[in-house]
């Protein structure tokens, strides 16, 4: 049996459930704080429960076939593109994943397409982007989707010019930034390396941090090809070949956002089932990176209220 006992737990089964690698960082990352050795963070007692996905009014929607809870202890790897051990999907099952957001308009279009089909995915967010668009990160969370992280500034962690501390900082500050964007709520213990480049020492590091690593089975190459027909072909040829898999897309790209309704429709028509994944425990950010992030964002740490709740236009 290829699935490690106890790692994956199916927590629900209902059909349908009622109730896109690679962008350059828009600006240089601020000077790194010295990365200390990972220390266990204090228990996140105040972690609120994530809202459930909205009730589905469309009995013919794609839906969610089942939800898997992942014990991320030791940093398991998912996606046969790189990790060949955890064969957890049944035939015709897919996991939808979206990278490089949150981003204005495009992420929201993806959210709408998912909502219209009563389905879900994992969003691997770039920390810096989350600080640009915290309200969009919150929308992803509030819609009940899983949020993982994808570094602070999308640096290729195989870059030999980066010191080990700088690589760790990319990972850790990404986590702290998404947590900051979510108003102090920790995202899941799921991580994806930029450009799917996995430096062995950082794979080991994530293991010590109990963070699961996501590669993919089917790459849409939507970061490379902005032609909807080509992207559709890559996704569905990949699925035909493998029969199932984790699909890599980008909510960052407008072409993907625009194409998603069609992708979901075809998945439904061809009998694919969407599987939701969530981590058993949220990721524990490291305090020194939380502090460095708060300093960088130059925002008061006592208030994360959105602009609309602080500044209100009133009649004279
Ligand atoms: Zn990416």
**Structural domains in the chain, sorted by start:** 65-296 (3.20.20.370)
- Taking residues 191-219, report their average pLDDT: 97
In percent, how much of the chain has pLDDT > 70? 83
Rounded to the nearest whole angstrom, what is the distance from the C-alpha of residue 156 to the centroid of ligand 1?
9
Angle between helical axes of 134-142 and 164-181 (0-180°, round to 10):
70
Q: Is the pLDDT of residue 30 over 50?
A: no
Torsion of CA 197, 201, 204, 210, to 10 degrees: -70
Q: What pLDDT score was predicted for residue 31?
A: 39
Distance 24 CA to ligand 1 centre (A): 9
315 CA from centroid of ligand 1 (Å): 45
pLDDT for res 151: 98
Distance from residue 126's CA to the centre of ligand 1 (Å) = 8
Would you state the pLDDT for residue 79? 96
CA of 182 to the centre of ligand 1 (A): 20
- Of the given ranges (33-37, 62-66, 114-118, 298-302), which has the lowest mean pLDDT? 33-37
pLDDT score, position 303 = 62
Q: Are residues 65 and 268 in contact, defined by beta-carbon separation less than 8 angstroms?
A: no
Q: How confident is the model at residue 35 (pLDDT cuts 50, 70, 90)?
A: very low
pLDDT at 77: 96
Distance of CA 1 to the CA centre of its chain: 28
What does the alpha-carbon distance between residue 51 and residue 35 come to, in Å, rounded to a whole number? 34
CA of 238 to the centre of ligand 1 (A): 20
Q: Evaluate if residue 162 carries a pLDDT over 80.
A: yes
The pocket of ion ligand 1, defined by CB under 5 A, consists of 21, 99-100, 194
- Number of other CB atoms surrounding residue 260 within 10 Å: 25
What distance in angstroms lies between residue 211's CA and the mean position of ligand 1's atoms? Answer: 17
Burial 8-38 (b: 16+ CB within 10 A, else e): beeeeeeebbeebbbbebeeebeebbebeee
Tell me: the pLDDT tens digits for 206-256? 999 999 999 999 999 999 998 999 999 999 999 999 999 999 999 999 999
Residue-averaged pLDDT of the chain: 87
User: 309 C-alpha to center of ligand 1: Å?
Assistant: 32
């Amino acid at each position: 049996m290829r699935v490690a006992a106890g790692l994956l737990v199916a927590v629900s089964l209902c059909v349908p459930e009622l109730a896109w690698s690679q962008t350059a960082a828009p600006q240089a990352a601020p000077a790194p704080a010295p990365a200390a050795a990972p220390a266990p963070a204090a228990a996140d007692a105040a972690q609120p429960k994530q809202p459930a996905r909205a009730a589905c009014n469309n009995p013919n929607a794609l839906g969610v076939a089942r939800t898997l809870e992942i014990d991320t202890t030791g940093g398991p790897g998912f996606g046969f593109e790189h990790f060949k051990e955890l064969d957890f999907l049944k035939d015709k099952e897919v996991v939808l994943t979206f990278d490089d957001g949150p981003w204005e308009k495009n992420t929201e279009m993806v959210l709408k397409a998912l909502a219209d089909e009563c389905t879900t995915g994992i969003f691997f967010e770039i920390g810096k982007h989350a600080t640009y668009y915290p309200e969009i990160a919150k929308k992803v969370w509030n819609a009940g989707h899983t949020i993982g992280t994808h570094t602070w500034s999308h640096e290729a962690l195989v870059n030999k010019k980066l010191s080990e501390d700088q690589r760790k900082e990319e990972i850790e500050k990404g986590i702290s930034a998404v947590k900051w964007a979510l108003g102090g709520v920790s995202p899941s213990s799921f991580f994806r390396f930029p450009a799917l480049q996995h430096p062995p020492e950082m794979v080991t590091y994530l293991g010590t941090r109990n963070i699961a690593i996501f590669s993919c089975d089917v790459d849409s190459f939507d970061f490379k090809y902005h032609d909807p027909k080509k992207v559709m072909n890559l996704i569905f040829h990949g699925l035909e070949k493998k029969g199932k898999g984790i699909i890599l897309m980008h909510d960052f790209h407008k072409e993907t956002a625009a194409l998603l309704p069609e992708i979901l429709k075809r998945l439904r028509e061809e009998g694919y089932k969407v599987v939701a994944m969530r981590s058993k425990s949220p990721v524990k950010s490291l305090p020194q990176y939380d502090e460095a992030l708060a300093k960088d964002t130059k925002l008061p740490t006592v208030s994360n209220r959105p602009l609309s709740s602080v500044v209100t236009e009133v009649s004279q």
